[in-house]
A and B are shown apart, each in its own frame.
Chain A
């Protein structure tokens, strides 16, 4: 560490003359290089604008159906944003974000991912490659190794300002438990251990005697139990089950648990519920259920998140035995029952093996029946009675609780217990990863009215309305689930066909698909200020969207919401 400087390091580097240089390239060669450089920069956006323009012309001639709508960047830049305003920063942000998702980025990205996966055993931010073909959800590993909610580092001066309003899980859950208790409802939290907790050996890095838990887990559980929350933690039991050879606990290429492990947990939870004194008295709705064995395959959500080329042969579908639950009375899948005293809140760990959008369906079609072999159905079977299910993929932190709070007081009064199934990673995220993964912990707004203010008409109503504003939704390529709805608010509503809307309903809130299979669909590009015609149905009547993510407004909660599948532009009001 001598203070002497080598000869090539000037004592006064700033005032040195510029480095000597020699340009040994002829005029023609230099011009060719300049053209090549500009071609690399210009070709992708020009190609995109031209192809999108041609697509727009083709779509103007005929109905495009579910096809991704044309989006010509240089034209769209000048249109209003989804929130109905034209602000330069907003336009620029939206333009930038859309450019990052441009279709011309797909082929090179996928080719690189395939090369890295095949040759360097490298996944991406969402999918971590373990041993022997085991895949892990990257954010889950990060949540497990991260600082956690109790000892999360304070935010620095350069931190994202959005993080400063972020609230950790613990205080929110405690307040929620107190609110439920006021209403005579018991809260049972069921944090589902994530794959690296139970199968760390398959991720690598060492040998493990038992399950891996987050450092804060015990403290977290203790603080909840201290305020009367029952925490059913199956981490050690599932690890023991894996060790005892009773069957697989997790799927190899998917984030979620193996159906046999899930069924076992459903039965264990049911036993807890059955031990409650009120249970035997509330058997009025008792049902009988049968089981039907089947076998289904899925590539797994973790392979989907790798986003490999369609022709890639690196992975093959994983087949699992499913036990479908059949309601003896109806002969169909057990339905959610809003009158049940047992409420099941949950995320994709509840929906998997029921919601075909999570895989394991009969086909790849969007419109197929629910599978009926999920956690909720097995819980109902084990209880011998239907349960009230509110489960949304990736949204068990707040949205499912808000959906329950949206019910009228009369509906809430009959509830006895809330079983809250949530991926444990959601509990342990630090602010940054939480926001990246769409996990927000907020208090819910309880509906104060005793009975419905409006009786929403059943069935479909054809309306014309002007789009006032739309909730922003995240980039389809950056979220954990390939499908998402978003909320829109409409004014000047005119019923064209069907039952009249309740008096006093000045504006209506309608959920449309923003993107499906990670592609923005036509309904995701509705323009604020424009008038559309569409058929609405009360959201609670539409079973195919009940588990889907919804992008809502940050500071607004709407109690009565409709759903519409498509919208046709019409001339002004």
Chain B
């Protein structure tokens, strides 16, 4: 189920809220867990077993780690079982076919026979949001091992944390340590609920009014055949994709944070106007904050971070970004995307705090950064390298020529698309963050948000079904 769907808004959300608030205090986590399983099972009820399995393993690993008088060996065993099981599940569902295809390719280079993949692997469907909840669930064992969190009060509390539907399938990745206290005790107020609904409404409007129309432009541009894409159309298409992915993902985060608030939780922010960044380093402080900090704390720092000398720091940076790319999808495109970001981070680090381009006006650095991001988004969006290469060639003048090229331009550069594109650009580069807009919650802001929700619902009827981009990761 997705937040911007009829079934969620009209049935699931009201029923979930009703059952949660009707339940006695002691039952609230159980109710929230059950509705979250319904939410997740909407795609495929069988996948709830997977989530349940992951939850059981991590819960008992947590008990192994924190059991009274647990030996170091026992604690390590608990940690490793958790990590291996979670990464194993993720690896099987997400990377098995990719691994086999890659291995076949490499073997074929040396004249060998391709790897024979068992037939059932071809039928494996990627469970929605698996990358998110396995990371989240795993963070529990790691946080307990490190002593950064107290163990869950009971299995239901932990199951509630893992399955909590607001941020279950597309983040923010809420680490156990940041909600453990809220699971023990939190306050429900009508003011907090109102803040939550206002945040949800703004996120909903962002998704429907900004992200989806930009997706239509990007889809048309990236579907173009050889020679059809002119340079202006290619830049327009990838910029539309940049806006789509930002507004789509940040809208999801707004809705998740808003929904969490309705249930009494506060989740960390996940975005901080990333396209206002003046460097790639800054971008990664502003973009998908919960993932970048997760990778930093659970990968970069354990690898040694910047404590083992310059050369090792760059290797660590690249490793983290390559894995971060692969986390997004089992495709070499994502690896390249992560690789370019890793190189840029390394380059900026090498330049130090006073780089030769540091004297350039801020807006020039912002534009340069955005152009680099657009180039990397091509790899992120394209189905494969061929399409990415063709698209990049078109961006830099190597496209057009096909007789159908002007038709694509006619479809892309319509008044409607241009107006919305300009709206997205203004919102991305100049508007304050949603959290700042709602920093002081006044009645008129709440009513405007409800009006936006009603308007966005009407537009949703016109648009049809548009899932969130990050669900596929």
A112 & B194 in contact (Cβ 8 Å cutoff): no
**Alpha-carbon gap, A92 to B228, bound state (A):** 40
Query: Is B423 interfacial (CB 8 A cutoff)?
Result: no
Our pick among B14, B279, B472 for the contact of A41 (Cβ within 8 Å) is B14
Our pick among A29, A89, A102, A121 for the contact of B415 (Cβ within 8 Å) is A121
**Alpha-carbon gap, A110 to B88, bound state (A):** 49
Annotate B434-460 by CB proximity to A: 1 below 8 A, 0 otherwise: 011011111100110010011001110
Query: Is A23 interfacial (CB 8 A cutoff)?
Result: yes
Task: Kindly provide the distance from the CB of B242 to the nearest chain A CB, expressed in whole angstroms.
Answer: 17
User: Which residue in chain A gives the minimum CB-CB distance to B224?
Assistant: A145
B329 & A108 in contact (Cβ 8 Å cutoff): no
Query: Is B63 interfacial (CB 8 A cutoff)?
Result: no
User: Which residue in chain B gives the minimum CB-CB distance to A39?
Assistant: B450
**Alpha-carbon gap, A156 to B285, bound state (A):** 29
Q: Which residues of A contact B302 (CB under 8 A)?
A: none
Q: Which parts of A434-458 form the interface with B (CB within 8 Å)? A: none
Task: Kindly provide the distance from the CB of A30 to the nearest chain B CB, expressed in whole angstroms.
Answer: 4
A-B contacts counted at CB < 8 A amount to: 280
Q: A6-B282, A25-B441, A154-B384 given as contacts; is B45 within 8 A of A89 (CB)?
A: yes
Query: Is B343 interfacial (CB 8 A cutoff)?
Result: no
Q: A2-B279, A14-B289 given as contacts; is B225 within 8 A of A24 (CB)?
A: no
A100 & B464 in contact (Cβ 8 Å cutoff): yes
Annotate B255-289 by CB proximity to A: 1 below 8 A, 0 otherwise: 00000000000101100100000111110011001
Q: Which parts of B150-204 form the interface with A (CB within 8 Å)? A: 190-195, 197, 201
Annotate A31-62 by CB proximity to B: 1 below 8 A, 0 otherwise: 10110111011101100000000000000000
Query: Is A516 interfacial (CB 8 A cutoff)?
Result: no
User: Which residue in chain B gives the minimum CB-CB distance to A122?
Assistant: B416
B197 & A34 in contact (Cβ 8 Å cutoff): yes
User: Which residue in chain A gives the minimum CB-CB distance to B190?
Assistant: A30
Annotate B1-14 by CB proximity to A: 1 below 8 A, 0 otherwise: 00001110111011
Query: Is B87 interfacial (CB 8 A cutoff)?
Result: no
Task: Kindly provide the distance from the CB of B401 to the nearest chain A CB, expressed in whole angstroms.
Answer: 9
B440 & A24 in contact (Cβ 8 Å cutoff): yes
Task: Kindly provide the distance from the CB of B98 to the nearest chain A CB, expressed in whole angstroms.
Answer: 6
B282 & A14 in contact (Cβ 8 Å cutoff): no
Query: Is A240 interfacial (CB 8 A cutoff)?
Result: no
Our pick among A22, A89, A155 for the contact of B439 (Cβ within 8 Å) is A22
Q: A14-B268, A153-B387, A212-B403 given as contacts; is B457 within 8 A of A25 (CB)?
A: no
- Chain B binding surface SS class: helix
Query: Is A95 interfacial (CB 8 A cutoff)?
Result: yes
Q: A120-B415, A205-B406 given as contacts; is B450 within 8 A of A33 (CB)?
A: yes
What is the interface size of chain A, counting residues whose CB is below 8 A from a CB of the partner?
Answer: 94
Q: Which parts of B328-351 form the interface with A (CB within 8 Å)? A: 329-331, 333, 344, 348-349, 351
Q: Which parts of A442-484 form the interface with B (CB within 8 Å)? A: 478
Our pick among A8, A18, A23, A121 for the contact of B266 (Cβ within 8 Å) is A18
Query: Is A21 interfacial (CB 8 A cutoff)?
Result: yes
Q: Which residues of B contact A331 (CB under 8 A)?
A: none
Q: Which residues of B contact A2 (CB under 8 A)?
A: 278-279, 348, 351, 353-355, 357-358, 365
Our pick among A33, A147, A154 for the contact of B194 (Cβ within 8 Å) is A33
Q: A14-B293, A154-B384, A157-B97 given as contacts; is B44 within 8 A of A89 (CB)?
A: yes
Q: A153-B384, A155-B383 given as contacts; is B349 within 8 A of A99 (CB)?
A: no
Query: Is B227 interfacial (CB 8 A cutoff)?
Result: yes
A13 & B126 in contact (Cβ 8 Å cutoff): no
**Highest count of chain A CB atoms <10 Å: which of B225, B266, B351, B459:** B225
Query: Is B220 interfacial (CB 8 A cutoff)?
Result: yes
A29 & B443 in contact (Cβ 8 Å cutoff): yes
User: Which residue in chain A gives the minimum CB-CB distance to B192?
Assistant: A23
User: Which residue in chain B gives the minimum CB-CB distance to A117?
Assistant: B416
Q: Which residues of B contact A38 (CB under 8 A)?
A: 14, 17
Query: Is A322 interfacial (CB 8 A cutoff)?
Result: no
Q: Which residues of A contact B397 (CB under 8 A)?
A: none
Our pick among B228, B368, B438 for the contact of A1 (Cβ within 8 Å) is B368
B416 & A121 in contact (Cβ 8 Å cutoff): yes
A1 & B441 in contact (Cβ 8 Å cutoff): no
Annotate A125-142 by CB proximity to B: 1 below 8 A, 0 otherwise: 100101000000000011
A9 & B286 in contact (Cβ 8 Å cutoff): yes
Annotate A189-203 by CB proximity to B: 1 below 8 A, 0 otherwise: 000000010001001
Q: Identify 30 residue pairs between A and B in the complex whose beta-carbon atoms are under 8 Å apart, listed by A's number.
A: A1-B357, A1-B368, A1-B372, A2-B353, A2-B355, A3-B351, A5-B285, A6-B278, A13-B293, A21-B435, A23-B195, A24-B441, A25-B194, A29-B446, A33-B446, A37-B450, A38-B14, A41-B10, A100-B464, A108-B457, A121-B415, A122-B414, A144-B404, A148-B225, A153-B387, A155-B383, A205-B406, A206-B410, A212-B403, A215-B226
Q: Which residues of A contact B (CB under 8 A)?
A: 1-6, 8-15, 18-27, 29-31, 33-34, 36-38, 40-42, 44-45, 88-89, 92, 95-96, 99-100, 102, 105-106, 108-109, 111-113, 116, 120-122, 124-125, 128, 130, 141-142, 144-148, 151, 153-159, 161, 196, 200, 203-206, 208, 210-216, 430, 432-433, 478
Q: Which residues of B contact A (CB under 8 A)?
A: 5-7, 9-11, 13-14, 17, 41-45, 97-98, 123, 125-126, 190-195, 197, 201, 216, 220, 223-228, 266, 268-269, 272, 278-282, 285-286, 289-290, 293-294, 297, 329-331, 333, 344, 348-349, 351-355, 357-358, 365, 368-369, 372, 382-384, 386-387, 402-411, 413-416, 419, 435-436, 438-443, 446-447, 450, 453-454, 457-459, 461-462, 464-465, 472
